[in-house]
């Protein structure tokens, strides 16, 4: 699931997003001369002793353990959630503020014109509008929780402002946080739904491909076994310039996904269930996840939450545990809308012109005049193809998406927190509507279960493969897959359930879920390991979460080597040495070995050879299925089938030889001629970068440690996706294993650490833990650590 702050994400870096004014230069000079140390220490919150919080009815105990995890114990729920808001803000206030601004399209107010396109995009989507519409759907009890949490955040903002303890980032950017609200928390939740996607970008890419390439060539870039409808390019409509329309669109990392699995007592050494979960999102400083322990009355729950949201999203209480991965269903549809040439706010529907709702979004821009952005909202949803430029002469794309409707996922989370068994847990699932998630579940009664949960649309016609006509009701949604018919599995005979964003149903399932599934390699590896033993332990689960076996390489590499060998081409001594390394490789993406580097670079060169000269970078960003499609193209060509994209390169043998030689040449130029000394970890490192690190000078302060070499890759269970510079920026910032034989033995990692305050000892203390798989326990009783009493106000 990433509310990571993505201001400097790889697709949209903003090296100029902060104009270094004289004020900032002065701050930098202070940092460089040593005053920075004073500023960061002064901003650290008081977390020891007594601190008065005026809204509390009773004193609240907060104990931070050796990893900085707050254990919050209150006498009632009001005090518990006020305290959670206060304590989370102590550790993550700047992250919280940037997260709500990102979701709401309000970054330019504090950053400047460099983020106007970004804000325009999110204002067009309307995540905050959806959050506002959702609030009234929540029960009074859930609204109370949201408001109590906001009150706690605001108490800390007032305290920190008065005492000069606002995080140093606010000083650098020269602004102060405004009051927190329940809508801010819900907007962050909506951003998470955005980050977990729904495939509109793949629809846009397929539309682009069908307009740019011959039909048969374009279809090779579609998911296999699709049933192509005849409306690919509807006749009588002007074409929409996808490249121009979406050049500035923000596309979440492909397959923000995760691993999770649950094992019944029949397959564990203890005879009790084990549950493991590691959600994969952007890796950054501060961490996306904030680990917390909440205890009050009948509730005792531990796990993680997104900073700015109350409750525990993923974790366990005294009776049940749950984990999540992304289902990745087709919950977003692009509609091709016909606009009235005489009235630009009217669109055709079933033979009549319908007036769209127009919302004028005002984007405040630091040091500049505000921008007013008119957002057109058709019956299907906002027109998203014109947030940056005109889309087509009389034709635009609108977006229908489940998350833009009122949803109650937070209310579902609150029910998870107090569930006692599968039946009571399902009460929460019924309310968790967006984003759709694979939930695995275990309980102290021995039950293990799974459900692909959330609102997944049923279409009158079409199946989410391509943009569809919006001028007719033929392609409308007619509801969602009935809750009781969502894919579900309880206590299977094989004794375990696992998911890794893989296809979750076979062709006998009566409803369409998705065309786009992740590469199957993580799921295949998880099942391979879990099926091998009936005495599984917590340590086995940890080892599997850190597993670096690359089944993609295991599938392709022998055939690649065979192709190179059979061609009898004269190879250089370096090329021969590299081939010898590959021949003896065990397919583990070990950071100290040369073979993972060669394979990963080889796959990169194959991608470049196939697409670079024919598809622009902006369009490649929309091509979310690319890795699956490339596997498909290679698989087909290696088996002797005609593949246009590969045949254009002289056939599979020529493609593999050319890209292999280029790969070896490039690596040798940077790493020397001794292949045995090449290592994957020299080019594959985790950094956990801070959003302010886009300013080079600040990166030395906010990126607390040098990048750490790590193994794994995007196809291994130890997920470690990386950018074009080799920086690992995507993976499991939270790993947990829950042991029902003794919940106190449950273990976790939050990378890079609990605190977002640069001067804290918990700022990056888990960075090496993340790289090396060093877990910690979050105990329930007799917590030892730094104790803080939040005192009820007078």
Active-site residue list? 258
Could you give the CA distance from residue 34 to residue 283 in angstroms, rounded to a whole number? Answer: 29
The response to whether 333 counts as a known ligand-binding position is yes
Tracing tokens 């940890």 back to the chain, one arrives at 542
Largest CA distance in the chain: 86
Could you give the CA distance from residue 451 to residue 436 in angstroms, rounded to a whole number? Answer: 10
Contact 157, 184 (CB under 8 A): no
Could you give the CA distance from residue 654 to residue 666 in angstroms, rounded to a whole number? Answer: 18
The response to whether 674 counts as a known ligand-binding position is no
Under DSSP, the state recorded for 382 is B
Measured from the Cβ of residue 155, the count of other Cβ atoms closer than 10 Å reads 23
Measured from the Cβ of residue 426, the count of other Cβ atoms closer than 10 Å reads 19
Q: Which tokens in the block code for residue 128? A: 């905050």
Contact 753, 765 (CB under 8 A): yes
Contact 56, 791 (CB under 8 A): yes
- For residue 374, what are the CA distances in angstroms to 110, 335, 388? 22, 19, 11
Exposure of 314 in the CB half-sphere (CA atoms within 13 A):
31
Beta bridge partners of 346: 355
- For residue 684, what are the CA distances in angstroms to 128, 675, 692, 702, 722? 37, 17, 22, 21, 7
Terminal-to-terminal C-alpha distance of the chain: 41
- 33 burial (CB, 10 Å; 0-12 / 13-18 / 19+) is exposed
Residue 477 φ then ψ, to 5°? -80, 140
Q: Residue 212: which residues within 8 A CB-CB, separation 6 or more?
A: 218
> How far, in whole angstroms, is CA 373 from its chain's centroid?
28
Q: Report which of 789, 785, 792, 794 is spatially closest to residue 50, judged by C-alpha positions.
A: 789
Binding residues for Ca(2+): 330, 333
Binding residues: 330, 333
């Amino acid at each position: 699931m990433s509310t990571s702050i993505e201001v400097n994400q790889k697709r949209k870096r903003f090296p100029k997003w902060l104009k270094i004014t004289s004020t900032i230069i002065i701050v930098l000079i202070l940092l460089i001369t040593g005053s920075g140390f004073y500023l960061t220490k002064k901003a650290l919150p008081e977390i020891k002793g007594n601190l008065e919080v005026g809204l509390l009815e009773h004193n609240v105990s907060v104990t931070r353990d050796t990893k900085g995890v707050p254990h919050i114990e209150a006498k009632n729920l009001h005090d518990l959630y006020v305290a959670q808001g206060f304590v989370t803000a102590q550790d993550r206030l700047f992250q919280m503020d940037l997260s709500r601004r990102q979701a709401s399209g309000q970054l330019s107010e504090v950053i400047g014109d460099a983020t106007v396109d970004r804000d325009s995009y999110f204002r067009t989507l309307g995540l905050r509008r959806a959050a506002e519409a959702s609030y009234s759907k929540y029960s009074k009890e859930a609204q109370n929780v949201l408001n109590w949490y906001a009150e706690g955040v605001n108490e800390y903002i007032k305290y920190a402002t008065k005492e000069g303890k606002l995080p140093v980032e606010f000083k650098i950017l020269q602004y102060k946080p405004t009051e927190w609200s329940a809508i801010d928390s819900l907007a962050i939740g909506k951003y998470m739904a955005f980050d977990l996607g729904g495939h509109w970008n793949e629809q846009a890419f397929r539309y682009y491909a069908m307009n740019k390439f011959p039909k048969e060539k374009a279809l090779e870039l579609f998911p296999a076994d699709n049933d192509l409808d005849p409306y690919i390019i509807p006749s009588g409509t002007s074409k929409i310039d996808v490249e121009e329309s979406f050049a500035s669109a923000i596309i979440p990392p492909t397959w923000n996904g995760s691993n999770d699995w649950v094992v019944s007592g029949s397959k564990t050494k203890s005879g009790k269930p084990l549950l493991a979960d590691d959600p994969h999102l952007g890796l950054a400083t501060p961490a996306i996840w904030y680990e917390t322990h909440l205890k009050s009355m009948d509730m005792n729950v531990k796990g993680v939450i997104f900073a700015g949201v109350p409750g525990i999203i993923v974790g366990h209480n005294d009776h049940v545990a749950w984990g999540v991965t992304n289902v990745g269903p087709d919950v977003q549809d692009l509609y091709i809308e016909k606009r009235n040439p005489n009235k630009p706010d009217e669109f055709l529907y079933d033979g009549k012109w319908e007036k769209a709702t127009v919302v004028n979004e005002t984007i405040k821009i630091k040091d500049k005049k505000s921008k007013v952005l008119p957002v057109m909202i058709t019956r299907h949803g906002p027109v998203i193809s014109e947030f940056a430029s005109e889309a087509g002469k009389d034709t635009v794309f609108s977006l229908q998406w489940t998350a833009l409707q009122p949803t109650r996922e937070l209310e579902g989370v609150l029910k998870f927190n107090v569930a006692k068994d599968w039946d009571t847990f399902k009460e929460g699932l019924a309310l968790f509507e967006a984003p759709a998630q694979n939930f695995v579940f275990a309980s102290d009664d021995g039950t293990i279960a799974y459900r692909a949960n959330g609102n997944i649309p049923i279409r009158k016609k079409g199946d989410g493969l391509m943009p569809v006509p919006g001028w007719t009701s033929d392609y409308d949604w007619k509801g969602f897959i009935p809750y009781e018919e969502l894919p579900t599995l309880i206590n299977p005979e094989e004794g375990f359930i696992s998911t890794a964003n893989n296809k979750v149903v076979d062709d006998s399932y009566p409803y369409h879920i998705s065309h786009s599934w992740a590469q199957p390699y993580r799921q295949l590896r998880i099942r391979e390991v879990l099926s091998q033993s009936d005495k599984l332990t917590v340590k086995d689960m940890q080892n599997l979460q850190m597993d670096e076996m690359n089944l993609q390489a295991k599938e392709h590499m022998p055939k690649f080597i065979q192709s190179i060998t059979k061609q009898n081409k004269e190879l250089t001594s370096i090329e021969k040495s590299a081939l010898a390394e590959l021949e003896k490789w065990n397919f583990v993406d070990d950071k100290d070995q040369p073979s993972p580097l060669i394979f990963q670079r080889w796959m990169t060169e194959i991608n470049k050879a196939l697409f670079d000269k024919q598809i622009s970078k902006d369009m490649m960003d929309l091509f979310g299925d690319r890795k699956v499609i490339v596997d498909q193209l290679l698989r087909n060509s290696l088996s002797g089938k005609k593949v246009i994209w590969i045949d254009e390169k002289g056939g599979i043998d020529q493609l593999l030889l050319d890209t292999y030689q280029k790969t070896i040449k490039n690596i040798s130029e940077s790493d020397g001629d001794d292949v045995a000394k090449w290592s994957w970890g020299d080019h594959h490192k985790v950094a956990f970068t801070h959003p302010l690190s886009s300013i080079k000078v600040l990166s030395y302060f906010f990126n607390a440690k040098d990048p750490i070499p790590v193994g794994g890759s995007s196809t291994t269970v130890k997920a470690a996706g990386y950018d074009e510079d080799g920086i690992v920026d995507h993976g499991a910032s939270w790993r947990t294993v829950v042991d029902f034989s003794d919940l106190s033995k449950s273990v976790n990692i939050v990378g890079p650490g609990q605190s977002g305050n640069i001067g804290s000892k918990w700022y990056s203390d888990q960075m090496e833990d993340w790289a090396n798989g060093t877990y910690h326990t979050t105990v329930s009783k007799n917590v030892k650590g730094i104790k803080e009493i939040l005192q009820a106000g007078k």
